Amino acid sequence: MKKTKELILALTNASNSPAEFLSLAHRHKAKNDSFDFTELLQVFTKKDLLKLWEAGSVTVRKSLEKIESVSSELSDKEAADLLELLDGILVMINCYLSLDSVHIVKELHQIIANLHDVLLALPDVDIQNRISLACEKWWNRSFDDKGFLVANTVTYLITRSVSDIATVSVVKRLYALKDALQVLDFEDPSSEPLKAILLQCFVTPTILKLDQGRRFLSSLFYLSSSYTVDIHEAIKGLLPHCPNQHLTWYGDIYFNAWKNAVPPYLEVIENKCLQDLMYSAVLAPRKGLRSLFHSLRCVLAGVHQHTYQQSVVAMLVKLYGPFLWRSLKVANADVRTNAATLLLELFPLQDHYQNKQDQEEALQRQFTIMKELLDDPSVSVRVAAVKGVCRVLSYYWELVPVNVIKSFLTKLVVELCRDASSDNVRVAVLQGMCVILDNPLCGPVMKELLPLLHHCIHDTSENVRIAFCELLLVVKGMKSIKFWKVCPMKDLMARMECDTAHVAKRIVALLIDSFQGTNVDLTQQVDRCIYLLQICPGAARRFYQLAQAHLSAANAARLILAINQFLIQVIEHGTDATVVASNEQQNGDGGMQNDDADSTVTINDTPIICGLLETMVILWEGYRHHFDKSSHKTIKSQLVSEFAISHIKFFHSFADESCQAAIFLLASHLPKRHVKLPMDVSGLPRERAIAMLIALVSWKQTEPLLKQISCCLDSSVKVGGAVAAVQAPPKRRGRKVKASVGSAKEGEADLAQAHTALCHLDWLMMHPVSYKVVMSSATFAVLQDSTQKSMNLIEQKCTGTMSDAAVSMDTTTLVHMFTLYVKMAMHRCLETSDINNFKGILEKTWHWCQQVLVPAINQSPSVVVMSTRRARKRTAGQLSSLPTEVLKVFLSLLSEMFLVGLADKAELCDLISRIIVGVADNSVAQEVWLHLCKLLYQLTDLCSQQEEGLMKATALQPLSPALMRVLSTLLATTDVTQYNQMFATLKPSLLVIIADSAKFASYFSTRLSHDQQLPILVLIEALVQSMAGQIKARPGYRLAVTMDELPRQPASLLGVLCGSILNTRLLLHHMIKTVEGVSDHTIIQLTSMMHIIPSLIKHRTTNIISSTKDLLVLIDDGLKQRCVDDPKSRDYLFDEAQQLLAEVREILYRSG
């Protein structure tokens, strides 16, 4: 009783002296204090409660008056004290409303009502939350006058739910108040702000992801009929851009809204919402990564997935009926595809409230439509029909009559699986077969039909082959059907050998259990490996390369050891005896039949032995990183110990080059101290030499190898005495002739050594392990100097004054050496980032090309006298190809700079631009064109990515002279075949260059000076000049209506320019500016423009009519002005021009 009076007194005096009440509130909140409002309020009598709430009402009213009336005059401390007082009262109220037995008086309602009125205006979030909790408890416990505590509470909860700090608990509280929204009048204009906030709930993930949140959103459909339509329009506007998960949630919202709806909202939801979605889905476009049809279909799936309910099916029949069936017959293929997809997804679409006869007729109608859809002329419709029919057969196999199943499967397997018009149809059939196989009842029927699909393994489309392999993987999991009965093993082997990785991986997954399964012992695994090598060695290599995804490191090591032991047995048996492998080739286990393969292996069976060694190499190399782990330390030590003994036996017993290379590759995985093989790289065949290089690199012997390569190159490029080109060597007799022959042989030996050294150096720079060693080696600079000497030897050959070293070097070796020189400089720049040094090397090299190569290319071939008898037999044609080959290599290396990122540097980009212009100005031999065009494309593309604004157009300007030079040479070509070949080489680069420069010319044409000609403008000028030349050469040339009727050269150039509407507009704009800017145009120039216009009209009818009319007016004025200025110019050319102008205007009139 004392505490009761104390609380009432403290609350009574709280408006003037809140310290006592706040002390009680703090004690309630403290965890270590036993004082609790809940326990105290339980012992209050009704009289005490009345006094308490009267005191509280007065305190709250006075506090709110102070806050509202003089809030600007309150100090921060006074305002904080008032808010703290209100917070304490709210804590006490919420504790009281949480009691099981509550006595409600009007004073308590008045307190909560006063606080509810200022809920949204208070600045303290905690106080707002406590007010909202009190109002929610009042509503949920259905106390009197609860409707007066709803408006601000709901607004507060909705605002918090759509904010960034929304929590799950707030959404659940909002759901608990969903019925409170019915109290509000949503037809009143004052509710518009609340409606706008409610619409935001439909895009809030926190609300959408909760089931209570989606149910709350569904309840919003019943607030007002007009608002229901507003909600639907808002959701419909979000569908094209919202995530896929949101689409599924919207489907749940629509279904829950329909399921719980009552008239008149039921009719609104069905007719204005669901039917609108259905109709929009039928008419929706299908193009794009995620089409609008896809979005609408995901939303409708929330309704379609409940077709097991009879009421849902009846609703779907009623809503789809007015438009779905007729949409299957329209001319638009997309609409037919959409309608077919929806119909087959809803199968069987029949109202269960109808009589049985009507249901049977509806079912038969759908079967008839399915057959028609499978024969539809549109590919997309057939694809949708195939997928839908297969889904129907999988889900409703028992419902569909046997004759219908047979007709459908026959159509799919016999006809559509061979549809030559589109691989998408064939893929859909194979994927549909996988869906049908999910039904276990289809086994007997599919067992007979699936073998008819075996031809798909050799289909020209990779997607079809992948789909067929996926089908075989599904069949593999079935007991009633064997995959090797569907597709023979020989076909699988053939595809695994030559097909892409996507197909080969699936074939390996299909066969792995047959060759390396857990139920196959090591003897059988080796035997089956031999079988695989006998029937298809290439497939065997591919199989073990891709088997790493299915084979553990331990099993791979055991197989390596088993093959190693088997090869030792082959050696021990000698050449006369044979080793008989296990003959357990079970047709039931993987479908292997060894009828054609010999089950014995001798030491003379080189292909099999080589294949086994290569299998060991493939497995060891593939699992090398696994073997290096500490967990497999025992396995690796066992492999090393076994092969350390056997590799010597293999080396002396298997003399074949491929076997020897495989042995060296295996030895590369051993420590060097265990290897007892000869290590001389010189003179070895290429395959074995590369294998030995790999071994040396793995043993960290790269540096000695580089020194050996350096010595070989130095000895081969030693410069001897020069011999004049015009002097023939004197005749020698006797021993001197023999000495000359001996020196020639020595020169050939040096040449061979140089060629081998260059190949080894090239390989070392490509190998990822040895590359770092090469770049950091002290010998690198020496090697770079040695390869640079190739430029001196090439110059001697081009000028005809050669030393002995130049004579002994052939074209291939010199080109290879020059290539390595530039490559080494490029890689050094990448490693050191020394751009200036690399730029200097490129400038010197380009200057050398201008001084040596270009004159040699342009001069006529002549016979050059050599200093040896063998060299004199070489023809002038062989020598003349050297400068061209070197220039081609130089340009290709410049192109590679774009791939490695060196061309991104501004200095190098400018240098490459100057080189392009220089090559185009000096020599445009056909052999150089491909590299020149590639550089043009890469440089233009780089400029378009890096520069912005007018700088981009300026960066492209230096390329215009090069492009003009190339085009002028191209247009001067008279040979049709040669022209077609050259233009085909140039066209891809032109398309990209023109596309980039057209954008810049369009955006910045007003800021470009007259001299800044972009490639697009150069090409337009070339087109007009080419057409004028054709007219001048062929007087009386009739007007070409289409592009195909134009002469060859103008037609090809116009084809490039008409690639986009932007190019076409620029062409017309340029011709207009040309006619306006120059007054002394010849009649031939004006006529050439008129010959171009009809092709533009036919190709781009729309968007150019206005510009074309302006151009024709200017041409007409130009012809008239020409006649006035020079009356003598009115000749037959003028009359022809006037006639052409009339014909062009007639074509324009008919088109526009």
Task: Identify the three-state secondary structure at position 601.
Answer: strand
Confidence of residue 683 (pLDDT cuts 50, 70, 90): low
| 734 pLDDT above the threshold of 80 | no
Task: Identify the three-state secondary structure at position 1043.
Answer: helix
Helix axes 106-117, 46-69, angle to 10 degrees: 20
Question: Among 194-198, 632-636, 1047-1051, which stretch is predicted with the lowest mean pLDDT?
Answer: 1047-1051
What DSSP designation does 271 have?
A: I
Tokens standing for 781? 């600079």
652, 621 Cβ separation under 8 angstroms: no
pLDDT confidence of residue 638: 92
What DSSP designation does 457 have?
A: G
pLDDT confidence of residue 862: 40
94, 133 Cβ separation under 8 angstroms: yes
Question: For a pLDDT cut of 70, what percent of the chain falls above it?
Answer: 81
pLDDT confidence of residue 873: 42
pLDDT confidence of residue 258: 95
Tokens standing for 623? 């699992």
The model's pLDDT over 519-541, given as tens digits with 9 standing for 90+, comes to 778 888 898 899 899 989 999 99
Tokens standing for 604? 């003379």
Tokens standing for 187? 């037809």
Written as one string, the DSSP assignment of 694-739 is HHHHHTT-HHHHHHHHHHHHHHHS-----B-TTPPPPP--THHHHH
**How far is it, in rounded angstroms, from Cα 1005 to Cα 1018?**
14
Confidence of residue 922 (pLDDT cuts 50, 70, 90): low
The model's pLDDT over 466-503, given as tens digits with 9 standing for 90+, comes to 999 999 999 999 988 999 999 999 999 999 999 999 99
Summary mean pLDDT of the chain: 81
592, 586 Cβ separation under 8 angstroms: yes
The model's pLDDT over 1019-1036, given as tens digits with 9 standing for 90+, comes to 777 777 778 777 777 666
Q: What integer is the mean pLDDT of 1095-1100?
A: 70
* Pairing mode of beta strands 600-601, 579-580: antiparallel
Q: What integer is the mean pLDDT of 75-97?
A: 84
| 239 pLDDT above the threshold of 80 | yes
Residue identified by tokens 């007409």 is 1116
Q: What integer is the mean pLDDT of 664-687?
A: 82
931, 985 Cβ separation under 8 angstroms: no
Q: Kindly tell me the sign of the dihedral angle through the C-alpha atoms of 741, 743, 746, 748.
A: negative
Query: What residues contact residue 1151 under an 8 Å CB cut-off, 6+ apart?
Result: 1097, 1098, 1101, 1105
Confidence of residue 904 (pLDDT cuts 50, 70, 90): low
757, 713 Cβ separation under 8 angstroms: yes
Residue type, 1020: I
pLDDT confidence of residue 926: 62
pLDDT confidence of residue 411: 94
| 184 pLDDT above the threshold of 90 | no
pLDDT confidence of residue 1151: 67
Q: Prior bond to 264 cis, omega within 30? A: yes
For the chain, how many residues are written? 1152
Closest CA to 377 of 344, 418, 336: 336
pLDDT confidence of residue 583: 46
The model's pLDDT over 427-470, given as tens digits with 9 standing for 90+, comes to 999 999 999 999 999 989 999 999 999 999 999 999 999 999 99
**How far is it, in rounded angstroms, from Cα 232 to Cα 218?**
11
Q: What integer is the mean pLDDT of 209-237?
A: 93
pLDDT confidence of residue 459: 94
pLDDT confidence of residue 999: 67
**How far is it, in rounded angstroms, from Cα 298 to Cα 293?**
9
Q: Which of 105-109, 606-610, 798-802, 1004-1008 has the highest mean pLDDT?
A: 606-610
pLDDT confidence of residue 987: 75
Quote the distance between the C-alpha of residue 266 and its chain's center: 45
As beta bridge partners, residue 601 has: 579
Q: Which of 275-284, 308-317, 795-804, 1143-1152 has the highest mean pLDDT?
A: 275-284
Q: What integer is the mean pLDDT of 198-213?
A: 93
Q: Prior bond to 768 cis, omega within 30? A: no
| 722 pLDDT above the threshold of 90 | no
811, 878 Cβ separation under 8 angstroms: yes
**How far is it, in rounded angstroms, from Cα 706 to Cα 684?**
17
| 1111 pLDDT above the threshold of 70 | yes
pLDDT confidence of residue 706: 86
Quote the distance between the C-alpha of residue 509 and its chain's center: 25
Closest CA to 786 of 769, 772, 770, 805: 805
Q: What integer is the mean pLDDT of 383-409?
A: 93
| 168 pLDDT above the threshold of 50 | yes
pLDDT confidence of residue 806: 62
Closest CA to 828 of 785, 889, 892: 785
CA distances from 768 to 540, 763, 774 (A): 27, 10, 10
**How far is it, in rounded angstroms, from Cα 818 to Cα 287?**
52
pLDDT confidence of residue 1011: 45
Question: Among 64-73, 100-109, 1120-1129, which stretch is predicted with the lowest mean pLDDT?
Answer: 1120-1129
What DSSP designation does 328 have?
A: T
1143, 1039 Cβ separation under 8 angstroms: yes
